[in-house]
Structure 1
Amino acid sequence: MVRAAEAVLSHRAGAAVSLADPEDLGGSGRTSVIRARVVRNPLSMDRTLVIKALPEDEDPHAFHRELASYKYATALPTESRPGPQLIASDPEARVLVLSDLGHGRSMTALLSGPDITETSHAVSAWGQALGRMHAATVGGDADFRALLRLGSVAADGMDILRESAERSIDGAPSVLADLGVELTDPVADALRAACGLFTDGEHRAFSPSDVGPENILLNDVGVRFMDYEWGGFRDATLDVAYAVVTFGARLSTANIAHRVDLEVALVDAWRSEVYPIWPILGHDRDLGRKVLIARLLWVWLSTVWMLPADGDGAGQFADDSETVVAVPAGYTHDWALHTNDPRVIVSRWSDLAAAAVRASNTDIADFATSVGIALQRDWLS
């Protein structure tokens, strides 16, 4: 991995580049991520770099999508870059060399801390960073697709979350029948509308895809998003709702009581950055409705991912005729949305019901309450 990074850096520089002292930074399980010190370089490089390598059996289209995401984000003005800069890459070796964001503080640590003021400031900074990224990338869809086509035409239409969401909605009647919950037409329409936000929507912008707290670092520059796997353009309200859904499980006991206030702080901070380009979001009712629909989808998808696994370890659900695989084996665990704790899922439905009440959406409120009660009965009783 280090040798592959040295080779691609040396090729880029036109002279030998040496790296040393590799430090394992973990990774998602499928990927390897290390930090290495730059010992010798002919260019004015950072003193440390981060190297990310994907396994050889990884779908090459997935690598090309991630590479296109880093290329797109790196081309943005410095003040608008949401995360690390792409330094070099080798598609054959499936290696990315990135700038090092440093150590900083993780969002998960800030959410789990005892100081609600510090946590609130961090959550607001998270929302602002999302908004700045979205505002800076509106209208860039064509540029991103061009980068995708340079690497792989097939990667252009590949969006693992969209595909997983579509399959989960197709299988919803069967899953809900097993729980004894009715899928009413208004809720089914809301789920389909939320799924459409991946390919359509009024607020399209770039998203790294997994903007949960595990992938966020606060350093001297501010909030940085660390992982662009499956990045692409989609409706920005999906990101805001994803953040709201995923941070609850990370809150400390002291901060849980302030959960609703933290949700409001995150959404309002995001809105403050995007309001100039999307003024309709200045209306609380419109904003609340859009975020609620996206939130419904994420809570539903995280529930589907909790269902039994097939022989390949992929989340699944089944109807009378076939088994529908929600996401390829090994991928669900890479997402902040994923959890193996049924208490987290039940809590997400309860929080969704409360959010729907605040948004005056009785259809989603009643549905979320029914699903939460059914899961509490089946999983926690």
Structure 2
Amino acid sequence: MTLVAHDRIDAVLDATQDILTRRAGASVRIDDPEDLGGSGRSTVLRVRVADNPVSLDRTLVVKAFDDNSESAQVLREIASYRYATALPTASRPGPQLLASDLDTRILVLTDLGNGRGMLDQLASPDVDEVRRGVSAWGQALGRMHAATYGGEDDFRALLRVSGRGGRRPDADALAAGIGREAAASVRRADEVAAEVGIDVPGEFGDVLSAGLELFSDSRFRAFSPSDVGPENILINDDGVQFMDYEWGAFRDAALDVAYALTTFPAALSDQASTRRVELESALIDAWRSEASPLWPALSDDRTLHTRLITACTLWAWLGTYWMLESDTSGHDWALHTSDPRVVTMRWADLADTVDDSVGAEDVQVVGEVARSMERALRRLWFE
């Protein structure tokens, strides 16, 4: 939980009541705000609906962006929630959007309850419990991808109509959020390598470039909230729920799976850490059970592993770039860490993955660079 000034909470409650009243055509009153924390740019509250003329749920969640948030970011989240809310109930990846207002930068969402956070699930010493969590995570990603494949035109239309007066977010995923950050890290690849003290062959640069292409040029495109790390996942009676849509976009589905593979090992208990490879396989298999009927090419281990290694390489590189540059621009992302042990471990895990993967000859250079990065970072930070 974070502490939010009472005057800020009061202002959010008043504005939300006005939004709901206009929507209902009758007075709606909310009270008992509970601070659920936020990203630093937003206030997130659970509120009780006291006067309820339109059969609203007893509790709602209100997200209010501060005045410093980019309007494009607010618009993108509104469009993302509108898109996800229009999906069939069984395919919705998270809460539904009930109301929104661009001028006050407020979104009103269904309340998914307290549930259990994925971070808590991963920290369990019961490896079977952890395996159930990562399998549910992979399956939820696969269901979301299967339900949204082919829906990019609808999403782009929502992006166009969500803003007023010409204010609308860029539909290009590479120009938004983490895609923009990843592109910056690749442009500065030579500088980063020099700072660490390693040589990066041209073939490795090709892998990073191929990772960037997954944002904008892919036959396996589907909707993603973008930050699908464990911090943004709630497990309730309906299964895995993704909680943050600030940078929702269409992009290659492998980016989501690789993001999960890159971010979950740092959250594992000591007992579960010894079974990391097994848990990674469980997540991938669960995702593939949902996605393979849609994309038969991904049933081929060589095709899938090459794609996932490419995406994991980009994520490991971006996390290292943020760390070396002391860059806090990604502090809200699960990928971002200020712990050098986590960054170093990601390269060690990536090297092991290349060694163990079918068809990894296509990206063998990744294993070589990953080992070099691991050794160089250990010298830089721990010796």
Q: Which digits, 9 at most, give the CA deviation of each residue in 1:168-195, with x for residues without a partner?
A: 1010011102222111122111100010
Which residue does 1:214 correspond to in 2?
231
Corresponding position of 1:326: none
| Letter of the 2:235 counterpart | L
**AA in 1 matched with 2:310:** I
Deviation at 1:2, TM superposition (A): 1.1
Pairing 1:1-381 to 2, within 5 Å after superposition: 1-150=12-161, 151=163, 152-157=167-172, 158-309=175-326, 315=327, 331-359=329-357, 360-361=360-361, 362-381=364-383
| Mapped contact 1:13–1:42 kept (Cα < 8 A) | yes
Q: What's the secondary structure of 1:125's corresponding residue?
A: helix
Structure 1: 4+ residue segments shifted above 4 A: none
Deviation for aligned residue 1:356: 1.1
What is the rounded CA distance, in whole Å, between the counterparts of 1:199 and 1:161 in structure 2?
Answer: 13
Query: Displacement, 1:120?
Result: 0.2
Secondary structure of 2:49's match?
Answer: strand
Distance, in Å, in 2 between the alignment partners of 1:112 and 1:26 is: 21
SS in 2 for 1:337: coil
The alpha carbon displacement at 1:288 in A equals: 0.7
Which segment is superposed worse, 294-303 or 179-188? Answer: 179-188
Range that drifts further, 277-286 or 150-159: 150-159
Deviations 1:264-287 (A, max 9, x none): 000110000011110011111111
Residues 64 and 155 in structure 1, CA contact (< 8 A), matched pair in contact too: no
State how far apart, in whole Å, the 1-side matches of 2:48 and 2:168 are.
35
Distance across 1 between alignment mates of 2:231 and 2:155 = 25
Retained in 1: the 8 A contact 2:75–2:168?
A: no
- Structure 1: gaps (5+ residues): 310-314, 316-329
Local SS of the residue matching 2:293:
coil
- CA RMSD across the alignment: 1.0
Q: Is the 8 A contact 1:166 1:195 kept in 2?
A: yes
SS of residue in 1 equivalent to 2:30: strand
SS state of the match for residue 26, structure 1? coil
Q: Per-residue displacement from partner, 1:32-61 (whole Å, max 9, x unpaired)? A: 101001111111111100000111121101
Cα distance in 2 between the residues matched to 1:38 and 1:62: 28
Amino acid at match of 2:18: A
Q: 1:197 to 1:125 in 2, by over 3 A?
A: same
CA distance in 1, matches of 2:169, 2:268: 39
**1:104 and 1:153 mapped to 2: Cα distance?**
34
* Length-normalised TM-score, structure 2: 0.93
Once residues 101 and 303 of structure 1 are traced to their aligned partners in structure 2, the CA distance between those partners, rounded to angstroms, is: 34
Match of 1:16, SS?
coil
Distance 1:9 1:153 in 2: 24
Q: Any idea what the Cα deviations from partners look like across 1:312-346, whole Å, max 9, x if unmatched?
A: xxx2xxxxxxxxxxxxxx64110000001000000
Alignment-mate amino acid for residue 79 of structure 2: A
Counterparts of 1:153 and 1:105 in 2: how far apart (Å)? Answer: 35
SS in 2 for 1:49: strand
In structure 1, C-alpha distance between the alignment counterparts of 2:329 and 2:49, rounded to whole Å: 32
Aligned letter for 1:287? L
Deviations 1:343-379 (A, max 9, x none): 0000000001101111234311010000111011001
Tell me if structure 2 keeps the 8 A contact 1:17–1:40.
yes
**SS of aligned partner of 1:83:** coil
Deviation at 1:154, TM superposition (A): 4.1
**What is the alpha-carbon distance in structure 2 between the residues aligned to residue 200 and residue 156 of structure 1?**
13
Structure 1 counterpart SS, 2:26: coil
Distance 2:171 2:130 in 1: 38
Q: Deviations over 1:236-291 (max 9, x none)?
A: 00000000000011000111001010000001100000111100111111111110
Q: Is the 8 A contact 1:204 1:233 kept in 2?
A: yes
Once residues 324 and 23 of structure 2 are traced to their aligned partners in structure 1, the CA distance between those partners, rounded to angstroms, is: 46
- State whether residues 41 and 68 of structure 2, in contact with CA within 8 Å, keep that contact through their aligned partners in structure 1: no
Q: 1:88: Cα distance to partner?
A: 0.3
Amino acid corresponding to residue 36 of structure 1 in structure 2: V
TM-score (norm 1): 0.93
